Chains A and B, each alone.
Chain A
């Protein structure tokens, strides 16, 4: 009995450490004022954020999963023809070869093509994105990203909220998923208990208990 408890506890702690929370891994922390963090994670600012993105970021960055391409591409009449053929989100190889000259132009001025930001929220999280966009040189010294948003924390937070709305499912969708998850788990637990009770009765009838 003691052995069983010991080995079970060992296994549970082990999987908790590797799957849920690992205290041995050091994670960078970025200080973000509470009010801005709240705005950056609230997707109701996404619409304003999109406008701010178009004004401040679109010169270099695309958000392909939202059909938003860099400004020079967006002004190109070819884009519409291509979107009629391939849909809102162009395949990456099509986008990169048709608009190669625009992307090479950016590469010449910045040293590399500024990344597409479709999934950036999932990669970096709101704290990093907020801190980096506001003061790029402080978070990542030597980066070629200009400090376009310097001194505008509220607008930066709204842009991060827009990135979140593109990367993550909408709040209604999330609620649906939560409901789905809770019902699946509840079903399985109830079925497990019923099976166990039924087994008791079957075994009693067979005289095996």
Chain B
């Protein structure tokens, strides 16, 4: 009976043809390494966020008087199993961003942003940016001390434009800051608009961008770890079952680690200070953004001039966006590029060090270290054109031709 219904649907929707053409006949390189699984892990993390978020919306109240109680009493104590949903959503946000960062660094390592995949990279960058905004807006909703004061500090950052020499007198920064908050201070209007953005607009934009990203991955094919494009007619393995089962097994491992944190180690994802209700008259001793923003925050903080700091951390985002055009070398993948690999290690260590420095007090030594690692971060991006020119030289000396 079920089989007949299935056939009836298939005759009309042609789903098995779609499966055959998109999953089985779709060929990918055989030597895909473990980091290639970060893509599917990010998709699963996104689905987890959407499903758990829908359930949280049912009990959360976006009102400055009741938001804290709805999160910490109704959700955590009153409704059965909602504690689990909140744990999943809070840990899931951190895991989503962690996986996205790992995915980005994998892409840089294997040079997956090169022709014909520049557009995939750019759409991926947009996903990353929208994701950061989503995380930022969601962080305010529990209305605890960290949520409130984190947002106070974040909303202050655009005002550093106003300390610029010429454009400063137009007060653009202050305008942006007021526009973010919906007034001169963070209150009901801020909470309302952040709630709306966090549950409707930003997830829908993300959904659209992720679809485009996936389409582009399929259109251009998956890159290969050693940088050679495969001839799909002769080599390559079927995506299903070769890759689906391999990455499915990795995915189970990822979920096991994720649920370990959900059940046994929530103290970082639901930090103690945020169980204190927001109080505009009580400034906490240490205010730092969440870890996924700390590297930018340290860059902003270690540069003595406020406006330059603002320009610097935005410049990092822009450099990340135009990465495919900074690196025009004919060689692909860090496996074949020793110079690139060295600079890649500089990039990784600098960004990790900047993140860890972000939670440390801003002593002069730490500010100095911050400046050194900021220089490291920029050195990676600025070295790319130089490395590319050198590698063009080697490539031609070996008899390579411009494709």
Contact = CB atoms under 8 A, between A and B. Distances in A.
Interface string A186-209: 001101110110110011001010
Contacts of B248: 195
A25 B252 CA distance: 33
Interface in B45-101: 65-66, 68-69, 72-73, 77, 83, 94, 98
A53 to B, nearest CB: 19
Interface string A142-176: 00000000000000000000000001010000000
A125 interface: yes
A206 B245 CA distance: 14
Contact of B263 (A25, A89, A177, A192): A177
Interface stretch (B190-198, B348-356, B395-403): B348-356
Given A10-B352, A65-B77, A178-B263, A188 B256 contact: yes
Nearest to B279: A115
A15 B275 contact: no
Given A18-B355, A22-B359, A181-B263, A196 B102 contact: no
Interface string B244-276: 011011111101100111111100100011011
Contact of A199 (B69, B249, B251, B356): B249
A19 B268 contact: yes
Contacts of B355: 14, 18
A114 B316 CA distance: 45
Contact of B69 (A11, A92, A181): A92
Interface in B224-241: 237, 241
B252 A192 contact: yes
Contact of B249 (A11, A119, A195): A195
Contact of B352 (A14, A89, A123, A202): A14
B325 interface: no
B65 A91 contact: yes
Contacts of A185: 256, 259-260, 263
A74 B356 CA distance: 48
A148 to B, nearest CB: 22
A123 B77 CA distance: 17
A206 B243 CA distance: 14
A11 B102 contact: yes
Interface in A87-136: 89, 91-93, 112, 116, 118-119, 122-125
A146 to B, nearest CB: 20
B291 interface: yes
B360 interface: yes
Contact of B259 (A17, A18, A119, A181): A181
Contacts of B348: 7, 10
Given A17-B356, A18-B355, A89-B69, A192 B256 contact: yes
A105 B196 CA distance: 38
B356 A92 contact: no
Nearest to A203: B242
B105 to A, nearest CB: 8
A7 B135 CA distance: 27
A180 interface: yes
Contacts of A122: 272, 275
A5 interface: no
Contacts of B251: 192
Contacts of A184: 259, 263
Interface of B: 33, 65-66, 68-69, 72-73, 77, 83, 94, 98, 102, 109, 237, 241-242, 245-246, 248-253, 255-256, 259-265, 268, 272-273, 275-277, 281, 291, 334, 341, 348-349, 352, 355-356, 359-360
Ordered nearest first, which 4 A-B pairs have the shortest CB separation?
A181-B263, A192-B252, A93-B65, A199-B245
25 contacts: A14-B356, A15-B98, A18-B268, A19-B265, A19-B268, A25-B360, A65-B72, A89-B69, A91-B65, A91-B69, A93-B65, A118-B73, A123-B272, A123-B275, A124-B272, A181-B262, A185-B256, A185-B263, A188-B253, A188-B255, A189-B253, A192-B253, A195-B252, A199-B246, A206-B241
Given A10-B352, A119-B277, 19 more contacts: A7-B109, A17-B356, A18-B268, A18-B356, A20-B265, A22-B359, A91-B69, A92-B68, A116-B277, A123-B272, A184-B263, A185-B260, A188-B252, A188-B256, A189-B252, A192-B249, A192-B251, A192-B253, A199-B249
